[in-house]
Structure 1
C-alpha cells in the first residue's frame, strides 16, 4: 500500500488497538453517545445508498447502538466518489492503473468533526469504507457469514485528525474459487444493469469479500476458443491449423475426443492476415463496449500447432507473439489504459530472447519460476501473475507464509500490477492466509506477522496466541519452498491433491503439537463465537490427524516384514474408518463452515481429475482390512466380529502367480521431464535398476537444470471382476539419495481409481523396503468409482503399477522387484 500521511505521520493503521485512547493525538471521539450523520456525495448511479448502508451497519454494531442519532457530539461521515467508474475518466488520464482504486480517509477534529472517505470511483470509495472500518474501528472479517465477523472489544474510538491516502500495489485483484453472492441480500434488490451489475462482486457479495477489496480489472485467460469458436470450421476453415499436410478439424465438444478436451486444444494459423483481422475486430468491439482488457490467451490442453509453410518459416512460438503484436498495434488507440492480454503458459511459455511486445500488451505469468518475472520485464511493459493458492486439495494446511512475503517483494521489484489466484478455500485452514495474501496486494510491505496475530486475536480472543502458534507451525513446513530471486510456488508441484506427498512431510509430533495448541485455545475461549470457530478448526484438524493415522497404519500393514498384530491392525482400521465417518457427518452438518466457498469435503472418488479431491488413503483402508485379514488367516488367528462382506475371505486361498508387463512409453511421463528406468520382465513381474541420474531438464523456466525423474510403468493382464478373487502385489525396493513415489490403480468399466500410494524418502545411506498389498478386483461404477454390485457377465479389469524416482544426486541408485499373484478361494497350498 502506497501511503502518504499528510498530517500526523505517526498515525498507525492499527491505532485503534495499539494505543490507548487517552494516549492518542486529540481527535474526534466516537462512542455510543455520538450523534452520527452519514451522507454520500457524487454520482453513485444505481448504487446510491449502498455504501452509506454498509458504513451504518458496522458503526452501529461496533458502537453498540440501535440508531445513528445520539445525545453526544455530532460526527459527520461523508462518502464521496470523484467519478462513477474509471470509464468516465478523461481519455489518457490514467497513467498508472493502480490509481483507479485509490482512496483517501481524512479526519477533521475541530469544531465540526468530519470523517471524509473519498474514492476515485464509487468502487474505490467502497474500498475506503471497508478500510476505515477495519483499520480505524477494528472490525475484522475472518471468513464469510455471521460467524466470520469479529467486532472490536471496545466501543469508544479516538479518531486522530489527519489524512491517509491509499493506493493498491496491484491494479487488478482476481480470486477464483469463491462463492461471492450473499444469500441474505433479498432478490428484490438485484438489478442487472448499471454500476450494481457491473460491480456485483462487491455490492452483492458477502461483506467478507468486500473486505478483501477485489477488482476484476484485467485477467487474461484461455480465450482463443472464444475468438475462434468451433463455428470457425464452417465460417473460416482456412485459418484452422495445418497438421501433417492436412487441415486439422477440431471435434465436436460432446464427441469422445471433445469430451477429453480436444475441441479447444488447438491454435489457429497465426500467420494468416485473416486471423489477425478477426481478433483485432473483436478486441476493438470489446474496448468500445468498455472492457479494460481483451484476452489473446491460448487455449488449454495439449494444443495442435499450425504447420503451414509460413508458420514453420516464422517458427514457434514466434508466430504466436507476432500475432499478438499485430493485434495490439491495431487497437493501440485505446491505450492507455486498455490492454491486450496474454498468458505465459504452456507452449508459449518460452518466448524468443529478443521479443519486445507493444506497450499495450499485458503478459500474465502463470505459476512459479526462478526468473520468470525478471525475464518478462524485458518482453512486456505490463506484467501480471497467476498463482495457484489452493485450499481444497490440501489436507495438511497449506500455509506458505515465507513464500507469500518473498513473492510480494519480487512483484514489487518486478513492477507487477495484475494478480489472479485460484483459491477454493476451506476456511478452517485457509482464512488466515487469505487475509494476509490479500493485504499484501495493497501493501507489499505489509507485516504478515502482525497481521496473523491480529487475525488470531480477533478470531479466538485470549486463545489467539495459541492459534498463532498453530498456523505458524504449519507455515514452517513450507519455508523450504521459497525460490530465491524468483517466484515461489503457493502450491508446490506434486503436493496439491496428493495427500501422500503432503503427509510424508509430517510427523506424529507435528500433530501432537498442533493438537495442544487447539486445546490451549479452547481452554481460553470466552465467547460463543470463539468456541464455534475453534470447533470448526478442530474438526478439520482431527480429520487430517485421522487421515495421517490411516496412512501410518497402511504403511505398517503393507510392510511385508511387519511384526504388528493383524487382529489389532484390523480393529484399528475399522475404528479409524468409523471416526472419519463421524467427522464427515459433523463437517457436513455445519453449512456455515462452507459459506462463500466452492470447496467441499467428502469421500467422492469421481473420475474427473479436476474434481478428484478424496485422499487415496480412504481406499487404502479397504486394502488394509484385506491384507490384515489374510495375514491373520495365515497365522491361524481369528478376527472377532468380522464384517459380513469380508467373511468370504477368512479361509485359506490358492496363490496363483500372474504377470506384470512393462510399458515402453506413457503419456504421464513426457521425455522433457522424465527418463525411463531400465527394467526387465521376470516370471510374475519385473525388476528394475538405476545407478545414475545425470539427465537434466532443459528449456523450462522453472525446472530447467534439474534432474529428470525416473519412471517405471507396468500393467497386468485382464483380470475377472470375481467376488471370490483377490490380487496380491509383492514389491521390494532399495535405494539412497532420493524419493520414491509408488502407486497402484485398478481399472474396469472404462475407468480407474488409485488403490494405494506411498512416498518414501531415502537418505544418504542405502535402505530397503518391502511391501505386500492385497486388493479386490471389482467392477467400478463410472460415476462414483465405487464398487458396483451389478457386475456384467465376463467383466474384466486391469491393474497398473507405477514407480517415480526423484533423485537428489547424480549418483542416487535405486533398484527393486515387483510381482503379482492372484488369490482364489480354495484349499490351502501344499
Structure 2
C-alpha cells in the first residue's frame, strides 16, 4: 500500500469547498446533455475491469435520472466524450489509489481517472456530486437527492482529489454487500484498506495447534495452561515467547497472501481478552507496569513479536501492511522497541469525549507517544448511534479531532458507527471529514440539510441537530450518566442520559420538525422529513416514557394529593409508551431503521418493553383506600385510548379482588418458608456477611417481617412456576430512622430463557417509613419451552455492617383481566 503524499489534505488543485460542491460553468464548458437530449458518449476501454464498467454505468444511470437523457457507453466515440478509467493524457502516478483526477482535455473530451479502479469509481461519484448536485444523504432511494437538469455542461477545470485518511471504514457498513447501507457507504467512499480486528485466534487455531504446540497458549496465574475450547473461543492471547511461534505465524501469513493475491494487509489484532501468558519468560519481556486503563502493559512483548513476524513476511511480500489494535493490554506504546513502518496500530477511544479538556489532553498525549515510536497510526472510534435513544451528534468535535489527528501521523480511521439514521447528517458528515477533515462543518451541514429538505426547510433541520449537538457536547458533562472511565460510554447498558433532557428541547424539536415538514419544497423531500420525524417521535416517546419510569421508581406517594399528582402525569406517559412500542415494531421491517430497532430491543437496559404503566401502579395502595384516587383511576379506565384504559382496568381488577397470590409466605408469618437467600460474601471477601431472620420487631401487616442486617450485597429470592398471564410483584420495605440505607431493587427474571426480559425497579427508601414498590409484568407463551420459572429477587446493595432493612408483604399476584 504505497502512500503518495502529494496533496496530503485531499484538496483539489482548484482548492476550496466551493469547488468541491459546485463549479462555475463557463463558455468553454463541454455539453453533456442539452434540452434533455444526450450530447456526449461515455467511453470505457474494452479491457476495463468490471469495477470501472460498473462505475461508467452508474454515471449513465444518474445522468439519466437527472436529465432524462441516456448517454451511450462505448469503447470509442466521435464528438463529446467522458472517458472513465485510465487515460494516457492524465497522469495519475502521483495520487493515492483512492484518489482521482477530473479534467477537461479539450473542448470535446473529459476524463475521470483514478489512482486505481477504486479511485476511478470514487471520481465518478465526485463528478455526480459536483456537476449534477447528487447527494447520497442516507441509504435507500428515499435518502438520495437527484436535482433535475435539462442541460448539463461541465467546465475544463482540473480537479485533483485524494483522501487525508487512507482508510475510512464504518461498521457495520460493508461496501462489498449489495444492501442499502453498503451502497450508501460506497457512494460516500467509506472504504477500509487495512485489516486490524481481533485475529490471533485465527492465526493460531486450537484445532490446528492445541495438540502439536500447546506451548502456543497462555499459562495463567494459577500455573495452568489455558487451551481454548474451540476455534471461536476469544478468551486468550497466544504465548508470544513460545519457541517457533514467530516462524509458524510467518508461514501461515505467507500462505494467506498466496491464497489471496489481491489482499493488501493482514490483521495481527489481539484477541478480545486480557488473558496473556503469565510465564516467567513472557513477564520478563514486559515493563512490569500497569497501563492507563488498569491492565498489565504487554506492549513491549507484543510489538517485539509483531516486528519479528512482519520483518520476515516483508521479505517475500514487501508491499503488505499489518493492522493491530492498540487496545486493553497494548493500549500504550512500547518503550523498548519502535514499531515497524508496515504495522498500523489503531488507538481505540470514544473521541466525542474529547469535549472534556482533561480527556482531550490525555488522548492527545497518548497519540503523541505513539507518534514517537510508530511512523503511521490509525484511530479506532466508538461513534455509536444505533442503540442511543437520542440523536447522538457531535459534528464540530469530530472535525476538530480528525483535523488534529491528520497532523499527527493518523492516516487510517475506523469507527464503530452503527448508525441510527435518525442522527441525520452524522454519517454523511463523517464520510466527508474522513476524506478531508479541514472543511467547514457548518457548510457541510447546510449542504446536507438543503438537499434533504430544501433551502427553506433545511435551516429547521440544522437547528434540530444543533439542539442535540449541544446536549452531547455541553449538557452531557453535567450528567451523572457521563463517566471519564474506560474507552467508551455505556451505550447498551444504561439509557439514564434520557433523564437529562429538558422539556424545552422536546418543545423546540417538535417545532423544528413541524416547520421543516411544512417548508419542504418537493413531495420527495417532504417524505424524507416525515421519515426522519418517525425516529424523532421514537426519541421523544423514549424520553417521556423513561422519565416517567424513573419518576415512578423514586415515588412513594405518602398522601392522597401525591397519588392524584402521579395519576395526572401517568396518562401521557402511557400514550408515549404505546407509541414507542408501535414505532419499534414498524421499524423492525423498515430498511432504514431495522438495525436500530433490533439493537434497542436486544438489550435489557434499552428494550423498554415494560416502560409505561409504572406510575399507575405506584398509586395502587391509594386506589385501595381513597375514593378520590379510585375515581380518578376509573376515569382513566374509561379512556378511549387502550394505552391508557387497559392498564387502569388491570389495577381496578386488582382492587376489586380479581388478583390471586401465586407466591408463598409474602408477610413472613411462617418465618422464611418459601424464600432462599444469596449472600455475595460467600463468593468474595470484598463484601461483609449479612444477618437474615424473620422478626416481630417491625411489620407492615401481620406480626412479622424479614430483617436483613449488615449485608454488603445479596438478595432474598423466591421462584414461581412460569405460566402465561398478567402479573404484578409488590414489596414493602422499611429502614429504621438514623440508619444509612444502601439500595434496594425488585428484580424479575425468567429461569431457563434469558432472552425473555422482565422489568426491574429501584425502591425509594425513606428511613422511618414503609416504602412500597409495585412492578407489573406479562408472561407470554414461551415457544421454546425453556422457561421454567419466574424469579423475584429483593436485591440489596451497599448496606454497611450496621445497615438494617425490613421486608414485608413481598409477593407476586396473577390478575384475572377478563
TM range, smaller chain? 0.7 to 0.9
Alignment of 1:388-427 (within 5 A): 388-427=382-421
Quick check: 1:721–1:779 contact (8 Å CA) kept in 2? Answer: no
Quick check: 2:746–2:792 contact (8 Å CA) kept in 1? Answer: no
Q: Deviation per CA, 1:639-666, whole angstroms, max 9, x where unpaired? A: 3346576556326899737898764599
Q: Say yes or no: does 1:755 pair with 2:759.
A: yes
Alignment partner for residue 440 of structure 2, among 443, 447, 459? 447
Query: In the TM superposition, what is the alpha-carbon distance from 1:307 to its structure 2 partner?
Result: 2.5
Give 1:126's aligned residue: 121
Quick check: 1:389–1:491 contact (8 Å CA) kept in 2? Answer: no
Give 2:19's aligned residue: 13
Give 2:50's aligned residue: 46
Give 2:229's aligned residue: 251
Quick check: 2:387–2:420 contact (8 Å CA) kept in 1? Answer: no
- Tell which deviates more after alignment, 32-41 or 384-393: 32-41
Give 1:807's aligned residue: none
> Per the alignment, do residues 140 and 593 of structure 1 end up closer, same or farther by CA in structure 2, a change over 3 Å counting?
same
Quick check: 1:387–1:490 contact (8 Å CA) kept in 2? Answer: no
Quick check: 1:403–1:489 contact (8 Å CA) kept in 2? Answer: no
Q: Deviation per CA, 1:250-275, whole angstroms, max 9, x where unpaired? A: 2247xxxxxxx8x2211222101221
Give 1:593's aligned residue: 592
Give 2:281's aligned residue: 310
Q: TM-score, normalising length from structure 1?
A: 0.75
The aligned length equals 709
Quick check: 1:42–1:80 contact (8 Å CA) kept in 2? Answer: no
Alignment of 1:651-670 (within 5 A): 656=667, 663=680
Q: Say yes or no: does 1:382 pair with 2:382.
A: no
Give 1:32's aligned residue: 34
Alignment partner for residue 221 of structure 1, among 194, 197, 204? 197
Query: In the TM superposition, what is the alpha-carbon distance from 1:771 to its structure 2 partner?
Result: 7.3
> Per the alignment, do residues 499 and 543 of structure 1 end up closer, same or farther by CA in structure 2, a change over 3 Å counting?
farther
Give 1:187's aligned residue: none
Q: What CA distance in whole angstroms lies between the structure 2 residues aligned with 1:825 and 1:326?
A: 63
Quick check: 2:304–2:337 contact (8 Å CA) kept in 1? Answer: no
> Per the alignment, do residues 685 and 166 of structure 1 end up closer, same or farther by CA in structure 2, a change over 3 Å counting?
farther
Alignment partner for residue 299 of structure 1, among 271, 277, 280? 271
Quick check: 1:103–1:118 contact (8 Å CA) kept in 2? Answer: yes
Q: What CA distance in whole angstroms lies between the structure 2 residues aligned with 1:494 and 1:757?
A: 23
Cα RMSD (Å): 4.4
> Per the alignment, do residues 10 and 74 of structure 1 end up closer, same or farther by CA in structure 2, a change over 3 Å counting?
farther
Q: What CA distance in whole angstroms lies between the structure 1 residues aligned with 2:153 and 2:484?
A: 42
Q: What CA distance in whole angstroms lies between the structure 2 residues aligned with 1:450 and 1:803?
A: 51
Alignment of 1:145-184 (within 5 A): 145-152=140-147, 154-157=149-152, 159-178=154-173
Query: In the TM superposition, what is the alpha-carbon distance from 1:223 to its structure 2 partner?
Result: 0.4
Give 2:215's aligned residue: 238
Quick check: 2:97–2:119 contact (8 Å CA) kept in 1? Answer: yes
Quick check: 1:742–1:803 contact (8 Å CA) kept in 2? Answer: no
Quick check: 2:747–2:759 contact (8 Å CA) kept in 1? Answer: yes
3-state SS in 2 of match to 1:247:
coil
Query: In the TM superposition, what is the alpha-carbon distance from 1:125 to its structure 2 partner?
Result: 0.3
Larger radius of gyration: 2
> Per the alignment, do residues 770 and 407 of structure 1 end up closer, same or farther by CA in structure 2, a change over 3 Å counting?
farther
Quick check: 1:718–1:796 contact (8 Å CA) kept in 2? Answer: yes
Q: Say yes or no: does 1:58 pair with 2:75.
A: no
Q: What CA distance in whole angstroms lies between the structure 2 residues aligned with 1:28 and 1:489?
A: 56
Q: Say yes or no: does 1:823 pair with 2:805.
A: no
Quick check: 2:747–2:792 contact (8 Å CA) kept in 1? Answer: no
Query: In the TM superposition, what is the alpha-carbon distance from 1:773 to its structure 2 partner?
Result: 3.0
Q: Say yes or no: does 1:436 pair with 2:449.
A: no
Q: What CA distance in whole angstroms lies between the structure 2 residues aligned with 1:399 and 1:312?
A: 43
Query: In the TM superposition, what is the alpha-carbon distance from 1:66 to its structure 2 partner?
Result: 4.7
Alignment of 1:627-642 (within 5 A): 627-636=618-627, 637-638=629-630, 639-640=633-634, 641=637
> Per the alignment, do residues 327 and 731 of structure 1 end up closer, same or farther by CA in structure 2, a change over 3 Å counting?
farther
Quick check: 1:425–1:431 contact (8 Å CA) kept in 2? Answer: no
Query: In the TM superposition, what is the alpha-carbon distance from 1:298 to its structure 2 partner?
Result: 1.2
Q: What CA distance in whole angstroms lies between the structure 1 residues aligned with 2:165 and 2:736?
A: 50
Give 2:112's aligned residue: 117
Q: What CA distance in whole angstroms lies between the structure 2 residues aligned with 1:75 and 1:733?
A: 90
Q: What CA distance in whole angstroms lies between the structure 2 residues aligned with 1:456 and 1:321?
A: 46
> Per the alignment, do residues 352 and 714 of structure 1 end up closer, same or farther by CA in structure 2, a change over 3 Å counting?
farther
Give 2:339's aligned residue: 357
- Tell which deviates more after alignment, 541-550 or 495-504: 495-504
**Unaligned residue ranges in structure 2 (runs of 5+):** 1-7, 287-296, 351-361, 478-482, 638-645, 694-705, 814-818
3-state SS in 2 of match to 1:104:
strand
> Per the alignment, do residues 482 and 582 of structure 1 end up closer, same or farther by CA in structure 2, a change over 3 Å counting?
closer
> Per the alignment, do residues 296 and 3 of structure 1 end up closer, same or farther by CA in structure 2, a change over 3 Å counting?
closer
- Tell which deviates more after alignment, 680-689 or 405-414: 680-689
Give 1:456's aligned residue: 449
Q: Deviation per CA, 1:262-309, whole angstroms, max 9, x where unpaired? A: x221122210122112111122223343322221211114x4222223
Give 1:79's aligned residue: 84
Q: What CA distance in whole angstroms lies between the structure 2 residues aligned with 1:714 and 1:519?
A: 50
Q: Say yes or no: does 1:210 pair with 2:186.
A: yes
Q: Deviation per CA, 1:586-623, whole angstroms, max 9, x where unpaired? A: 5456x3434xx74435874xxxxxx4276254324354
3-state SS in 1 of match to 2:228:
coil
**Unaligned residue ranges in structure 1 (runs of 5+):** 84-88, 185-203, 254-260, 605-610, 690-711, 735-739, 761-767, 805-812
Quick check: 2:574–2:613 contact (8 Å CA) kept in 1? Answer: no
Q: What CA distance in whole angstroms lies between the structure 2 residues aligned with 1:818 and 1:376?
A: 52
Q: Say yes or no: does 1:478 pair with 2:475.
A: no
- Tell which deviates more after alignment, 571-580 or 400-409: 571-580
Quick check: 1:648–1:724 contact (8 Å CA) kept in 2? Answer: no
Q: Say yes or no: does 1:626 pair with 2:644.
A: no
Give 2:556's aligned residue: 560
Give 2:480's aligned residue: none
Alignment of 1:725-804 (within 5 A): 726-728=729-731, 745-750=747-752, 751=754, 753=757, 755-756=759-760, 772-775=772-775, 796-800=791-795
Alignment partner for residue 103 of structure 1, among 86, 100, 105? 100
Quick check: 2:557–2:563 contact (8 Å CA) kept in 1? Answer: no
Q: What CA distance in whole angstroms lies between the structure 2 residues aligned with 1:600 and 1:129?
A: 34
Quick check: 2:167–2:192 contact (8 Å CA) kept in 1? Answer: yes
> Per the alignment, do residues 341 and 580 of structure 1 end up closer, same or farther by CA in structure 2, a change over 3 Å counting?
closer
Give 1:649's aligned residue: 654
Q: Which has the higher strand share?
A: 1
Q: What CA distance in whole angstroms lies between the structure 2 residues aligned with 1:450 and 1:580?
A: 34
Q: What CA distance in whole angstroms lies between the structure 1 residues aligned with 2:710 and 2:127?
A: 64
Query: In the TM superposition, what is the alpha-carbon distance from 1:387 to its structure 2 partner?
Result: 1.2
Query: In the TM superposition, what is the alpha-carbon distance from 1:37 to its structure 2 partner?
Result: 1.2
> Per the alignment, do residues 310 and 338 of structure 1 end up closer, same or farther by CA in structure 2, a change over 3 Å counting?
same
Quick check: 1:554–1:621 contact (8 Å CA) kept in 2? Answer: yes
Q: What CA distance in whole angstroms lies between the structure 2 residues aligned with 1:473 and 1:75?
A: 49
Give 2:698's aligned residue: none
Quick check: 1:749–1:797 contact (8 Å CA) kept in 2? Answer: no
3-state SS in 1 of match to 2:495:
helix
> Per the alignment, do residues 682 and 13 of structure 1 end up closer, same or farther by CA in structure 2, a change over 3 Å counting?
farther
Q: What CA distance in whole angstroms lies between the structure 2 residues aligned with 1:439 and 1:446?
A: 8
Query: In the TM superposition, what is the alpha-carbon distance from 1:441 to its structure 2 partner?
Result: 1.0
Quick check: 1:374–1:414 contact (8 Å CA) kept in 2? Answer: yes
Quick check: 1:748–1:798 contact (8 Å CA) kept in 2? Answer: no
Q: TM-score, normalising length from structure 2?
A: 0.76
Q: What CA distance in whole angstroms lies between the structure 1 residues aligned with 2:713 and 2:397?
A: 34
Q: What CA distance in whole angstroms lies between the structure 1 residues aligned with 2:384 and 2:770?
A: 34
Q: What CA distance in whole angstroms lies between the structure 2 residues aligned with 1:364 and 1:625?
A: 50
3-state SS in 2 of match to 1:77:
strand
> Per the alignment, do residues 492 and 621 of structure 1 end up closer, same or farther by CA in structure 2, a change over 3 Å counting?
farther
3-state SS in 2 of match to 1:420:
strand
> Per the alignment, do residues 239 and 14 of structure 1 end up closer, same or farther by CA in structure 2, a change over 3 Å counting?
closer
Query: In the TM superposition, what is the alpha-carbon distance from 1:495 to its structure 2 partner?
Result: 4.3
> Per the alignment, do residues 510 and 664 of structure 1 end up closer, same or farther by CA in structure 2, a change over 3 Å counting?
farther
Give 1:197's aligned residue: none
